[in-house]
Amino acid sequence: MQDLVNKIRVLAAALGRPVRLMEVCGTHTVAILRHGIRNLLPEGIGLLSGPGCPVCVTSIKDVDTAIALSQLEGVVLATFGDMMRVPGDKKSLLDAKAEGGDIRVVYSPLDALKLAEENSAKKVVFFATGFETTSPLVAGTILEAETKGIDNFFIYCVHKTVPPALKALLDSGDVTVDGFILPGHVSTVIGVRPYGFIATEYGKPCVITGFDAGDILSGILMLLSQISSGRSGVEIQYAKVVRQEGNPRAVSVMEECFEPADAQWRGIGRISGSGLRLRRQYMHRDILTVFDIEVTEGSEPGACSCGEVLKGIKLPSDCPLFGKACTPERPVGACMVSSEGSCAAYYRYKAVAESGV
């Protein structure tokens, strides 16, 4: 690993200017902090966190809609556990459960389908969150429900896709990024092609990177090599897992059930084509075709910097609430809830996190 660090230092010195790289994935943020990678890098190489935590980017309105669904008679809401404490406008799913909502934590959408089989008199709604890593699993579950004729299984779909969010960040002009450390897990599904525009249209180097310290340092070295030679492409460091074509079967299942839609990202806003909705032939599985839920969009707490953190404008430690009014035990913003949230990761590893980039 020291050899990688030395090579990075040589390239950084040769560049003679600051370089800002964004790690898109929340798992990368956690790994970077856990391994103290920021402290290993030479001065001038800055790492920014991006919008790669699906829990963090789930909008307040979507959380409040899920809460409203859980309060309906005859409805069971199934959700991943890390969504339970995400703040809505006034409360979280955990609060709603304490108030009597029938909310069940599941480990996969198939667990929710089993709940539907076991509770045929109720409508079981799976809160379908996450990026391209989870949407094929949800699509497969929908197809399984169709095959088995389980008519009381529904989803509330707030799935999001990564590439459109990166395009929105690049178009916004809010943050200057010289290159991207692309997510390993998402890329196992979608492969290289969906990121191509970042290199061809925006001239930004990209590397799909694994999650141990050596993987991340290798990815940084590959990015600096592209920058120093004036190249911009999408390279794979995580070749033991990620293929150029991704996982065509997973993509096929996802595309059979879902089509692109606009989506609201917490702290960022509405991004065109960045969400997924059920295709017409599966729309009967959308719980919003059964119940007409009207929820207004709430607002983030005034001093919360989650939006700026998700866009890479601020570090978590720049937020006035960080580690004071906002902690993992008492989260004010969504970035402090998930273990992959930037604020939660910085708080957990604050002894090794740097104070700036």
In a domain, 356, yes or no: no
CATH of the domain at 179: 3.40.50.11750
| Whether 110 and 157 share a structural domain | yes
Range of the domain at 338: 306-348
Give residues with Cβ within 8 angstroms of 107, minimum separation 6. 80, 81
* Residue-level pLDDT at 351: 45
Domain boundary among 233, 254, 281: 233
Q: Are residues 157 and 253 in the same domain?
A: yes
Asked if 156 and 264 sit in the same domain, the reply is: yes
145 shares its domain with 261: yes
Answer whether residue 301 is part of any domain: no
Which helix (H) or strand (E) segment holds residue 276: the answer is strand 269-278
Phi, psi of 259 (to 5 degrees): -135, 160
Inside any domain, residue 241: no
Residue 354 domain-assigned (yes or no): no
Same domain as 104, residue 78: yes
- Each residue's pLDDT expressed in tens, for the chain with a length of 357 residues: 789 999 999 999 999 999 999 999 999 999 999 999 989 999 999 999 999 888 899 999 999 999 999 999 999 999 999 999 998 988 999 999 999 999 999 999 999 999 999 999 999 999 999 999 999 999 999 999 999 999 999 999 999 999 999 999 999 888 789 999 999 999 999 999 999 999 999 999 999 999 999 999 999 999 999 999 999 999 999 999 999 999 999 999 999 999 999 999 988 899 999 999 999 999 999 999 999 888 887 777 778 898 889 888 888 989 999 999 999 888 888 899 888 889 999 998 874 444 444
User: How many domains would you assign to the chain?
Assistant: 3
Answer whether residue 137 is part of any domain: yes
Q: Are residues 142 and 26 in the same domain?
A: no
b/e map 314-341, b = 16+ CB within 10 Å: bbbbebebbeeebebeebbbbbbbbebb
DSSP string across 47-100: EEEEEE-HHHHB-HHHHHHHHHHHTSTTEEEEE-GGGTT---SS--HHHHHHTT
Residues 152 and 275 in one domain: yes
Establish if 240 belongs to a structural domain. no
Q: Are residues 75 and 144 in the same domain?
A: yes
Query: Are residues 344 and 324 part of one domain?
Result: yes
Statement to judge: residues 156 and 175 lie in one domain:
no
Q: Is residue 189 part of a domain?
A: yes
Same domain, 44 and 77: no
Q: In this structure, is residue 311 part of a structural domain?
A: yes
Residue pair 312/22 in contact by the 8 Å Cβ criterion: yes
pTM: 0.92
Same structural domain, 173 and 317: no
160: nearest Cα among 38, 258, 267: 258
